[in-house]
């Protein structure tokens, strides 16, 4: 398997280090490097899509955040390389897939590649990007504050207009939806969660009771299964019922 890559960094030393690491990882195929962001914008815009773009954040004439917004559609995965943690929130906004904090080692780079392409395939595991089974969300209305969401504590995710509400065993948090397109997709695909309406995904482990189409979750949270998802949820209940021959009054 060959993973096509482009590297953009105005610091020649940092760029050289990244290129040296990439040469030691046989799956990575370096297409081109850039030290000038405007040149990168011009050439990448006119070229074919690549698998990964590695991009520094602080660059002259055009920042990595600005450049990423213009080039995001030209790469499957976007990886920021920076010496500053303060750009984490901005990385959310341009849907970055990973964040390498300088100075990073070849081990950190290899781990990032393994997260994006586990077991050497081009198919990403549903939670490969959520390393250690947690992720951070920027709070709505706050000054860039991030809150850690542990998957084992996550009860439900609900889209509310342009926002997303994260209900956990400890608290409820609200964040802007545009930050979480990929996260929502991964949650929906993970076997620990199940979608019950077009806007609600719940954790199976926190289901306390089901009556008809009403679901009661831990934390006194409840939802109604929509018609579109009744069959899917009914199969889940049937597969996890101790009395297979019984006909409980559930979602009928």
108-116 long-range contacts (CB < 8 A, ≥24 apart) are 109/18, 109/21, 109/22, 109/25, 110/25, 112/79, 113/3, 113/25, 113/27, 113/28, 113/52, 116/52, 116/77
Does the pLDDT of residue 125 top 60, yes or no?
Answer: no
Q: Which CATH number does 131-239 carry?
A: 2.40.50.1020
Mean pLDDT of the chain: 82
Q: How confident is the model at residue 248, as a pLDDT? A: 45
Residues of the chain with CATH 2.40.50.1020: 131-239
Of residues 120 and 13, the one with the higher pLDDT is: 13
Rounded mean pLDDT of 209-234?
92
Question: pLDDT-derived band of residue 36, with 50, 70 and 90 as boundaries?
Answer: very high
Order of strands, sheet of 3-8, starting from the edge strand that comes earlier in the sequence: 28-34, 3-8, 50-56, 75-82, 98-101
CA distances from 4 to 65, 79, 111 (A): 21, 13, 17
Residues of the chain with CATH 3.40.50.2300: 3-120
Is there a contact between 149 and 174 (Cβ–Cβ < 8 Å)?
no
Task: Record the pTM.
Answer: 0.54
Residue partners of 28: CB distance under 8 A and separation at least 6? 3, 5, 22, 52, 113
Rounded mean pLDDT of 225-243?
86
Pick the CATH number of 3-120 from 3.90.1170.50, 3.30.70.1290, 3.40.50.970, 3.40.50.2300: 3.40.50.2300
Nearest-10 Cα torsion for 52, 128, 57, 87: 160
Our measurement of the distance from residue 170's CA atom to the centroid of its chain's CA atoms, rounded to an integer in Å, reads 22
SS percent in the chain: helix, strand, coil, step 5: 35, 35, 30
Residue 169, helix vs strand vs coil: coil
Alpha carbons 172 and 160: distance in angstroms, whole number: 13
Q: What are phi and psi of 185, to 5 degrees?
A: -60, -40
Alpha carbons 115 and 129: distance in angstroms, whole number: 6
For the chain, state the CA radius of gyration. 21
Residue 52, helix vs strand vs coil: strand
């Amino acid at each position: 398997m060959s993973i096509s890559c482009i590297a953009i960094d105005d610091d020649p030393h940092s760029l050289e280090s990244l290129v040296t690491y990439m040469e030691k990882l046989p799956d990575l195929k370096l297409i081109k490097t850039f030290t000038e962001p405007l040149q990168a914008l011009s050439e990448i815009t006119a070229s074919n899509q690549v698998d990964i773009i590695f991009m520094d954040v602080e660059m002259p004439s055009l920042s990595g955040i600005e450049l990423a917004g213009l080039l995001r559609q030209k790469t499957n995965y976007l990886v920021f390389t920076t010496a500053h943690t303060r750009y984490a929130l901005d990385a959310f906004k341009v849907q970055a897939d990973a964040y390498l904090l300088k100075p990073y080692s070849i081990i950190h780079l290899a781990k990032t590649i393994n997260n994006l392409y586990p077991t050497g395939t081009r198919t990403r595991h549903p939670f490969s990007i959520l390393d250690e089974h947690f992720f951070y969300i920027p709070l709505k209305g706050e000054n860039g504050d991030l809150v850690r969401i542990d998957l084992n504590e996550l009860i439900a995710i609900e889209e509310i207009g342009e926002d997303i509400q994260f209900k956990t065993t400890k608290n409820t948090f609200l964040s802007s939806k545009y930050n979480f397109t990929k996260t929502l997709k991964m949650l929906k695909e993970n076997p620990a969660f199940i979608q019950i309406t077009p806007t609600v995904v719940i954790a199976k482990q926190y289901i306390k009771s089901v009556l008809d189409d009403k679901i009661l979750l831990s934390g006194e949270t409840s939802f109604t299964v929509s018609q579109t998802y009744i069959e899917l949820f009914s199969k889940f209940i049937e597969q996890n019922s101790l009395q297979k021959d019984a006909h409980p009054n559930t979602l009928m």
